[in-house]
Amino acid sequence: MKAYYGRQLLNPKIEARPKNLITLPTFIDSVCQRCGQKNTEKLPNNHYYCCGCLTLGRVSSHDVLLHLPEPNEFDGKAALSWQGQLTAQQQVVSDELIQTLLYKREHLVWAVTGAGKTEMLFPVIHHALQKKYRVGIVSPRVDVIIELAPRFRAAFSETDMVVLHGAQTEDYRYTQLVLATTHQMLRFKSAFDLLIVDEVDSFPYDGDKMLVHAVKHARKASSALIYLSATPTKKLQKRVTSKDLTVSYLPLRFHQHLLPLLKTTVVGHWRKKLPSKFLRQLKKFYQEDRRFLIFVPKVSDLRRVYQGIKQCLPDIAGDYVHASDPERQEKVQKMRDKDIQYLVTTTILERGVTFPGIDVLILGADEPIFSENALVQIAGRVGRNHDRPTGLVQAYIRHTNLKVIAAQNQIKKMNQRGRRLGGHI
Amino acid sequence: MNCQMCQNYIDNELSLLQTLGLLKNQKKLICQACESDFAVITMSCSGCGRQQKSTQLCRDCRRWQQQGKILLKHTALYQYNDAMRSFMQQYKFNGDYKLRGIFNSKFIQIIKSLSKDVIVPIPVSENTMKTRGFNQTTGLLEGIIYQELLQVTTIKKSHQSQFNRKARMLRQQPFTLKESSISLRGKHVLLVDDIYTTGNTLYHAADLLYSAGAINVKSISLAR
């Protein structure tokens, strides 16, 4: 029965179901009650199904949704096993988050990449767990979830936590702490007292009405919602200026160093032949034994760039990875474990992942796939730890365009604010 | 518009003739890359439609003959490869009924070219009808007239895909004839299924149709 607390799960009408469950219709006025979208496709005999949330199992008029209200059956004996210290600026934000929880508000944390957002969350989550609140931490990106999982497990080692995303097999169980992709929120209903959405501006959450609906319905009517982003969308920024959403700024990284700037170099047809400037840089990385990421615009560029590098520098160990790569997680793990020195990647690794002490090269940064925010995020992969708080962010472009300049300016602006707080290079 | 299989965006650029309305613009449901993953059967066994190097009868079909069956002269359009498997997964088991449109027009075009008097689809159980909500075979047949003369008798039918070959071959007649006004006496019947795996289902169905007076039963499926 616990499996139904705060959930909404599909069941065929004709199948027997446990007693005492609340049965909800799957459609009201042909709006899917799981994903809130009106996107139905006909079945024979006047039945129909929802195309919006088909990937999570089909919702049809042959089914019902089963639900039990969230009873918060927790003991409240949460311990924070994280031993670190927050910086003064982080502490300010962290206190504001506790206020958010107290007043059950919506709140945005606008913090630069590498500001230590995850650590700032620990106190407010700890607070919520002690109050027997159910806490959800979600992100549109599965990589972010995979990266966060061990950190939360370590910080709240005594609290049971379930990790849910499409690329795995862990069975659902009723836990106080839930770490999941935003898609998984479609299976929850009025469950969370505190819901945290990390990387709220990223694909596919940004501009996806279904996921916005999912997050809204997964939290209780009276609950706190915290958005985290280094590069909030214009829409969120507008809500901040119109006082619809409270905000905490954190323009400085936890180690008090400024963000590395985005440097550009104009090159020729890099798809035809890898630029010599680029190869010279790689040679330098190789000699100094520095690890790095290479971002390319398209999946079809990956293999070609990788092979080009292999030809010129056969001794340097690397790999390439893209979104639908079956070995995606293994390859990223190899990079994390320092088994390989570099990864050629598409924008999937633009955010939410930390490889300590890396540098970043971007081929074709002027192409449309790299938005202003994507470039800022990519630059934010560099200089994320104490030992090496800075690094190289080099973009190879064929033409300068406004987008690249806008990204450079955004970083400069954040650094200006950071300098006021005492940041340095 | 996105590809129904891989969800990538399809650029439906109109050619000059299509822009001028001289050529009908057929909206594509799947992208070129996914379409090319489906393997068309080119040369096949004349008994069961299996892809092979000659049209000679394969071992399975000779066995059917030894059992005294009249061969179905089965026609199949595509090989049952990974792409077809994932199509069936999405269409049948995830129940995405709109995917029938991917093969519908091609399938009925070929059916129209075959000689027959009556088209009979393989039925699904009542239970499947109430959970899946559709018969995957009749979905593919949308647009032509067919007669649902068969019904599934077994009360609780488990999905065939859970059985291995031996278990499948041991299954008893799963169908019965519906009472209907159509007489099969002296008719040429075309049986339709989504996939031909062992042939067991179709031969069981054919037995019934022959006993009802059909003089000839052939069959067709999307995949083999």
Out of B94, B127, B138, whose CB is closest to A58? Answer: B94
Q: Phi/psi of residue B97, each to 5°?
A: -60, -30
**Inter-residue contact A365 to A395 (CB < 8 Å):** yes
Alpha carbon of A300 to those of A13, A150, A303, A378: distances in Å? 46, 32, 7, 20
Lowest-confidence region among A3-7, A34-38, A387-391? A387-391
The nearest CA of chain B is from the CA of A41 a distance in Å of 7
Burial of A327 (0-12, 13-18, 19+ CB in 10 A): exposed
Q: Is the peptide bond before A389 cis (omega within 30 degrees of 0)?
A: no
Q: What CA–CA distance (Å, rounded) separates A368 from A349?
A: 17
> How confident is the model over A212-222, as a mean pLDDT?
95
Could you give all domains of chain A from N- to C-terminal order, each with its CATH number?
2-67 (no CATH), 88-250 (3.40.50.300), 263-420 (3.40.50.300)
Q: In 10 A of CB A357, how many CB atoms?
A: 16
Domain boundaries along the sequence of chain B: 38-223
Decide if pLDDT at B160 tops 70.
no
The pLDDT value given to residue A121: 95
Nearest CA among A302, A216, A235, A169 for reference residue A36: A216
Instruction: Note the pLDDT tens digit of each residue in A392-412.
Output: 999 999 999 999 999 999 999
CB contact under 8 A, B96 and A54: yes
The pLDDT value given to residue A202: 86
> How confident is the model over A375-389, as a mean pLDDT?
91
- Confidence tier at B168 by pLDDT (50, 70, 90): low
Nearest CA among B212, B222, B210 for reference residue B70: B210
Percent of chain A with pLDDT over 70: 100
Instruction: Note the pLDDT tens digit of each residue in B116-151.
Output: 999 999 999 988 999 999 999 999 999 999 999 999
- Confidence tier at A386 by pLDDT (50, 70, 90): confident
Question: ipTM of this model?
Answer: 0.83
Q: Which residues, other chains included, contact B5 with Cβ-Cβ below 8 Å and sequence gap of 6+?
A: B30, B31, B34, B83, B86, B87, B90, B102
Chosen from B37, B134, B137, B155 to mutate, greatest number of chain A CBs within 10 A: B134
Domain B38-223 of CATH type 3.40.50: yes
Decide if pLDDT at A92 tops 80.
yes
Residue A307, SS3 per DSSP: helix
Please give the angle made by the CA atoms of A63, A64 and A70, to the nearest 5 degrees: 150
Decide if pLDDT at A26 tops 90.
yes
The pLDDT value given to residue B170: 64
Decide if pLDDT at B155 tops 60.
no
CB contact under 8 A, B98 and A44: no
Instruction: Note the pLDDT tens digit of each residue in A311-351.
Output: 988 889 999 998 888 898 899 999 999 999 999 999 888 88
Decide if pLDDT at B3 tops 90.
no
Instruction: Note the pLDDT tens digit of each residue in B81-110.
Output: 999 999 999 999 899 999 999 999 899 999
Residues of chain A that touch chain B, judged by Cβ-Cβ distance less than 8 Å:
12-15, 41-45, 47, 49, 51, 54, 57-58, 60-62
CB contact under 8 A, B95 and A60: yes
Residue A111, SS3 per DSSP: strand
Question: Please, what is the average pLDDT of chain A?
Answer: 92
The pLDDT value given to residue B23: 73
Decide if pLDDT at B158 tops 70.
no
The nearest CA of chain A is from the CA of B35 a distance in Å of 18
Decide if pLDDT at B75 tops 90.
yes
> How confident is the model over B149-173, as a mean pLDDT?
70
Decide if pLDDT at B156 tops 90.
no
Instruction: Note the pLDDT tens digit of each residue in A101-133.
Output: 999 999 999 999 888 889 999 999 999 999 999
Query: Residue A61: its chain B contacts at CB < 8 A?
Result: 133
Residues, chain B: 224
Instruction: Note the pLDDT tens digit of each residue in A256-266.
Output: 999 999 999 99
Tokens of A91: 């502490």
Our measurement of the distance from residue A371's CA atom to the centroid of its chain's CA atoms, rounded to an integer in Å, reads 17
Higher pLDDT residue, A169 or A249?
A: A249
Alpha carbon of A32 to those of A49, A108, A217, A367: distances in Å? 8, 29, 13, 38
> How confident is the model over A227-238, as a mean pLDDT?
92
The pLDDT value given to residue B154: 65
The pLDDT value given to residue B25: 67
